[in-house]
A and B are shown apart, each in its own frame.
Chain A
Amino acid sequence: MMEMENSRTILYKNLRAEEQRRDVPLPYVVPEGYFDSVSADIINKIPKEKVLLTDIKIPRFDVPEDYFNDLSDNILSSINKQQNNIEEELASIAPVFNTISKQLLYQVPEGYFENLQVDNKKSVEVAKETKVVSITKRIIWLRVAVAASIIGLLVLGASISSNKNSENYASYKNVDLKNSVKKVSDEDLEKYLNNDYIASNNDMIILDDGDAPDVKQKIQAVPDEDLSQYLQETRTSKNRKKGI
């Protein structure tokens, strides 16, 4: 202890001597005897602080066992929760889906997505906004009635023409409209309605006034608006098929 005190005194004297050698002395003033007592002051304070620290109760934060081991699994589980919900929901409604793969079996032509190009200069007609028009029952029935009357006339006309020599018109009453209509293709119907019908492979023959005198009258009875709407629809669907 005495040796340390001596060393400190020597160091202090050296520092003072060094300070005095400087051309410009430091402007700060150290209280007299400060360096003699500072080390002792510090040492005296240490035990007191130790006591103070031990007096403070630091709360202990516990981590559940294996928390960090399970963390990644738990996060992944949360991510998959939504998907699982969907599967659980379906399993509760219709368990048969558990036996079916979700794989879609439809094929896409090779390179389709790589080569897909959209012609943004395509005609305005195709691009224009298509509206979902709600169709009332009345309009549906009107259309069905129009279509049925036209088809009926066609079939009747065809029958009249093919049997005009027999003059047995009573048999026309027994025509099976449904089956006969099925034989008429959309194309033939459309051609007929466009007034440029040419007999095709179907059993239909060109109608003229002599064969069925009341045909014109019956067609005239159909409102122009309904006919033009029907023609417009068939033409649009035809054009779409052709890619126009």
Chain B
Amino acid sequence: MLLIFNLNKAIKPPYCLKVYLSDIPKKGCMHLEDRELLDLFGDSSTKELAFTAIIKKFQERLYWHIRKMVISHDDTNDMLQNVFIKVWKGLENFREDSQLYTWLYRIATNECLTFLEQRKKKATMSLEDDENGLSNTIKADKNFDANKLEWKLQLAIQKLPERQRLVFNLRYYDAMPYEKMSKILETSEGALKASYHHAAKKIEQYILND
């Protein structure tokens, strides 16, 4: 089945996007621009297909963003599901003055912070240390090797406060510019730079002394 969507009615010189609906599940629409995906999502006949395409396009980036914060795959999977459910519910009202990617990251980040906050509360109730909980999850990994620097780095990152950990992960692993990070975390660039600086210092101290 061939559908032709006129995406930019009367605003710009009209152009047509040809989408073979039967091809989307096989090939995905990862090549489509966010604007095109949003237009497809706005059409009830292609809403679910567009949503599937959005999941496929962003799932890995969001998965790793969450996984680095909560460590466990099962928790990450639960949260990733919740993130996309919220996306499904909120996408129609998505304000296009921010990038889709930024918006998704912001939802995932809030989800992480909420999850970690609840975890901390629970740990307080049981008089345990939540920080140790995450470290224990790392140590329980079947590939964990205490002598490997990469694992030591993971343990050191878990010692950081949540927001500092977020900043460090986004900068160190995702090479995200401060400007973009500032939009996701709604924090000034100066504060983010300082946060990253402190985080890197703390990690270095942990690795060298522990």
Pick from A24-32, A68-76, A139-147, A202-210 the stretch touching chain B: A139-147
Question: Contacts A104-B64, A108-B63, A233-B122: A119 and B81 contacting too (C-beta < 8 A)?
Answer: yes
The complex places the Cα of A59 from the Cα of B97 at a distance, in Å, of 48
Interface of B is mostly: helix
Residue of B nearest to A108 (CB): B73
B200 within 8 A of A: yes
Contact B208–A96 (Cβ < 8 Å) = yes
Task: Return chain B residues, CB-CB under 8 Å to A103.
Answer: 150
The complex places the Cα of A122 from the Cα of B82 at a distance, in Å, of 9
Residue among A82, A105, A240 with the most chain B CB within 10 A?
A105
B125 within 8 A of A: yes
Contact A100–B149 (Cβ < 8 Å) = yes
Task: Return chain B residues, CB-CB under 8 Å to A90.
Answer: 172, 200
Residues 107-123 of B contacting A (Cβ, < 8 Å)? 110-111, 113-114, 117-118, 121-122
Contact A97–B204 (Cβ < 8 Å) = yes
Q: How far is the CB of B193 from chain A (nearest CB, A)?
A: 9
Pick from B1-9, B32-40, B84-92, B98-106 the stretch touching chain A: B84-92
Task: Return chain A residues, CB-CB under 8 Å to B151.
Answer: 105
Task: Return chain A residues, CB-CB under 8 Å to B22.
Answer: none
Contact B78–A240 (Cβ < 8 Å) = yes
Task: Return chain A residues, CB-CB under 8 Å to B150.
Answer: 100-101, 103, 105
Contact B153–A100 (Cβ < 8 Å) = yes
Residue of A nearest to B202 (CB): A94
Residue among A101, A106, A236 with the most chain B CB within 10 A?
A106
Q: How far is the CB of A108 from chain B (nearest CB, A)?
A: 7
Pick from A47-55, A164-172, A178-186 the stretch touching chain B: A178-186
Interface of A is mostly: helix
The complex places the Cα of A63 from the Cα of B132 at a distance, in Å, of 62
The complex places the Cα of A122 from the Cα of B84 at a distance, in Å, of 11
Residue of A nearest to B206 (CB): A96
The complex places the Cα of A127 from the Cα of B89 at a distance, in Å, of 9
B45 within 8 A of A: no
Task: Return chain A residues, CB-CB under 8 Å to B126.
Answer: 186, 189
Residue of A nearest to B55 (CB): A118
Question: Contacts A181-B127, A237-B122: A99 and B78 contacting too (C-beta < 8 A)?
Answer: no
Q: How far is the CB of A115 from chain B (nearest CB, A)?
A: 11
Q: How far is the CB of B46 from chain A (nearest CB, A)?
A: 15
Residue among A107, A116, A237, A240 with the most chain B CB within 10 A?
A116
CB pairs A–B below 8 angstroms (18 shown): A82-B175, A86-B171, A86-B175, A93-B196, A93-B197, A94-B200, A100-B149, A102-B172, A104-B68, A105-B154, A107-B73, A107-B141, A108-B63, A120-B88, A132-B113, A233-B118, A237-B118, A243-B78
Task: Give B contacts to A, CB under 8 Å.
Answer: 51, 55, 59-60, 63-64, 67-68, 71, 73, 77-78, 80-82, 84-86, 88-89, 110-111, 113-114, 117-118, 121-122, 124-127, 141-143, 148-151, 153-154, 171-173, 175, 177, 196-197, 200-201, 203-204, 207-208
Task: Give A contacts to B, CB under 8 Å.
Answer: 82-83, 86, 90, 93-97, 99-109, 112-113, 116, 118-120, 122, 126-127, 129-132, 140, 143-144, 147, 178, 181-182, 186, 189, 230, 233-234, 236-237, 240, 243
